[in-house]
A and B are shown apart, each in its own frame.
Chain A
Amino acid sequence: MSEIAATSKITPRRAGSQAWWNAVNAWLLLLPAAVLLVGFTHYPILATIRRSLFVTKRNGTEAFVGLDNYQAMVADPIFWKALVNNFWFALGTIPTSIALALIMAIWVNRNMRGRGFLRLAYFTPTVLPMIAVANIWLFFYTPDYGLLDQLRSLFGLGGWNWLGDPSTVMGCLVVMVIWKEAGFFMIFYLAALQQLSPDLDEAASIEGASRWYIFRRITFPLLMPTTLFVAINAVINSFKLVDHLVIMTKGGPNNASTLLLYYIYEVAFTFQDASYAATLTVVLLILLSAVALVKFGYLDRRIHYQ
């Protein structure tokens, strides 16, 4: 009450200082977030770019080498392999896990018996720690002893080295990641579905629209903001995978399952080559920035928000 009384007494002459005070206030309120953002995002990005232009000598001194690190990267077959692997990995995981998430969400959005249990079951993979997930799937994939090979042996088939064979290892990882991600994305779709007004559905069915037509022309377009959000997350996740690789394949055999971030980890910590790791990180930054640009510059404007 007293504040309101105070504001009403402001004279025009003091309005200027009031605006100034408001600005200070706003900046002070933004400061904690800004400090964190600069300290943990913007500064590290600049430091990484700078470091990629230098090499650290064995005696600890730095020397400017310009684009040498980038030249070495272009000539590095493992880098290209990691990049190509990452492309196939993203292509394998993103569309499938999103489609699966949507189907699961529509399924558990209906009124039915055991709905809570089903939702929980779908969501469980998401809450498991990454290392536990890797161990569970090792149990499936281990040659001879694993669940898959036990099943194969029922049909008289011999053991298959799932993770030790360059032709199957990527597929194995893709399946595992879809299993883990679909349940997570389902939650967003489920929340979005529950926001949709049932009136639209009813109106459409009175008009005689089929269920498929309603989904295609009403539900799915209205879910687009969620789809975009989920898609961005899926892209980020497909570049973020590293824990599973450490446990399950170490990027092998012969780099068949090396992804970009795992290679960065290996270069930075196993080979202790910080400047080359920084160079690789810059590539990752560029890739992810491109994704963000597409989202904000193009997709956002084409999507209908309620």
Chain B
Amino acid sequence: MLMAATFAALSMGARPAAAVDLTMYYPVAVGGPVTKIIDDIVSRFEKENADIKVTAVYAGNYTDTMTKAMTAMKGGQPPQLSVLLSTDVFTLMDENAIVPIDGLVSDKAWFKEFYPAFMANGQIDGKTWSIPFQRSTIVLYWNKDAFKEAGLDPEKAPASWDEMVEMSKKLIKKDASGNTTRWGVEIPSTGYGYWMLQALAIENGQKMMNEPGNEVYLTAPKTVAALDYWVDLSRKHNVAPAGSIDWATLRTDFLEGKTAMMWHTTGNLTAVKDAAKFPFGVAMLPAKERRGSPTGGGSFYIFKSASPEQQKAAVKFIQWMTAPERAAEWSMKTGYVAVSPAAYKTKAMEEYAKGFPQATVARDQLEHAVPELSVHENGRIYKFVNDAIQAAITSSQKPQEALASAQAQADRVLRTYK
């Protein structure tokens, strides 16, 4: 009886002989039921493509997913494709882990469908190493009720650094014993601190790295000034809480009204929209010398160790996942920027944006966007920069000193790539 049942189950589960198995690792770095959304889209792909089976494995945040993929590769069991930070490209190339996608597609026009700002990170030496998927930029979220309460125009976000400080001072709220119950603005310093610092540096007119990915500019006066401004928000102007601000709980702070403004990824937009009990706005980041934000988020990579059939199937899967209708759906369900202009022209997206104009801010900011900090030995460099930011934010070191030490360590690591 049991055996018969097992046999029946096995034969039902059996797939046609031509079936290709793909394993994909993917990260989640924002709020909302992202794993459910992925599972749903993947199962629809499988229904349409009976000969391809995709196992989507949630592998933690971006760092964890990269760790898992690299460890699996060294253990001889790599996934066939993965969503990893667009900036992991140098490390993946150095480790000989991925294949360029040019050779796998017949129609190169496909690459032109994406926003050039998103393709920039993945195109090196004339080859395309990744396809953008859950891409983002940093945006400013603001609480319109708080603005109204502070006597500010609820429809106008700060346009410059100075304006952000001035507005924040008005937005601060204290209780009877003098403790702050609402801060003006919060910028997360854990997790992706380097990303936020890069945004500030870009706005200040400073690049953080060179194109070949073997130099970083952490001690450039304008980078230091960017970190100074960040630290001053809490130390000098008292409009942000002292000490580090956690990437993961910042969304809660904003939703609970503990901060009137926050800098966060647009990938959180839908999670904020679903949970906010107050009207809120989304704006481009304020300018110093110029507007600007680094792009961010994850792209698809195809692993070298996959068989030719698997690589072909992976391309098919990626093309399906990034097609305009899916890109629009993904953007609406999460808040990530849809990766192609065509996605914004779909009927569903146009209607959505009409009722919720906040959904297009990150896209509009793309024209000011700069590729995210991406160099060889990315993991190490990120750690040095993040450590320096934390040292400065927690006042254990002056921004200048902290960045000088990070620069020295980064130089030592990057020396071998020159």
Contact = CB atoms under 8 A, between A and B. Distances in A.
Contact of A252 (B71, B176, B390, B397): B390
Given A142-B249, A161-B241, A164-B244, A254 B394 contact: yes
A305 interface: no
8 contacts: A58-B94, A59-B96, A145-B249, A164-B246, A253-B393, A255-B387, A269-B71, A270-B379
A269 B94 CA distance: 15
Interface string B357-395: 000000000000000000001011001001110110110
Contacts of A161: 241-244
- Chain A to chain B: the 5 pairs with minimum beta-carbon distance, closest first: A164-B244, A158-B179, A253-B390, A156-B177, A161-B243
A243 to B, nearest CB: 13
A254 B241 contact: no
A165 interface: yes
Contacts of B91: 272
B305 interface: no
B179 A157 contact: yes
A159 B181 CA distance: 10
B207 interface: no
State the majority secondary structure of interface residues on A. Answer: loop
A161 B249 CA distance: 12
Interface in B27-65: 63
Interface of A: 58-60, 77, 142-145, 153, 156-159, 161, 164-166, 250, 252-255, 266, 269-272
A252 B388 CA distance: 11
A270 B67 contact: yes
Of B244, B393, B409, chain A has the most CB atoms within 10 Å of the CB of B244
B386 to A, nearest CB: 8
B258 A144 contact: yes
Contacts of A272: 70, 74, 91, 95, 379
A271 B377 contact: yes
Contact of B394 (A156, A166, A266, A269): A166
A145 B252 contact: yes
A158 B387 CA distance: 26
Of A59, A166, A269, A272, chain B has the most CB atoms within 10 Å of the CB of A272
B319 interface: no
B252 A156 contact: no
A58 B97 CA distance: 11
Contact of A58 (B95, B387, B393, B394): B95
B221 to A, nearest CB: 23
Contact of B70 (A143, A255, A269): A269
A153 B177 CA distance: 10
Contacts of B242: 161
A188 to B, nearest CB: 36
Nearest to A268: B71
Given A58-B96, A158-B179, A253-B244, A166 B67 contact: no
B400 interface: no
B190 A252 contact: yes
Contacts of A164: 190, 243-246, 394
Interface string B90-109: 01001110000000000000
Contacts of A255: 387
Given A156-B177, A164-B244, A270-B379, A254 B390 contact: yes
Given A164-B394, A272-B70, 14 more contacts: A58-B94, A58-B96, A60-B96, A77-B409, A145-B249, A158-B179, A161-B242, A161-B243, A253-B394, A266-B383, A269-B70, A269-B71, A270-B67, A272-B379
Contacts of B377: 271
A156 B243 contact: no
A269 B383 CA distance: 14
Given A158-B179, A269-B70, A166 B95 contact: no
Contacts of B386: 252
A164 B391 CA distance: 11
Contacts of A156: 176-177, 179
A253 B188 CA distance: 13
B396 interface: yes
Interface in B249-297: 249, 252-253, 258
A193 to B, nearest CB: 44
B160 interface: no
B123 interface: no
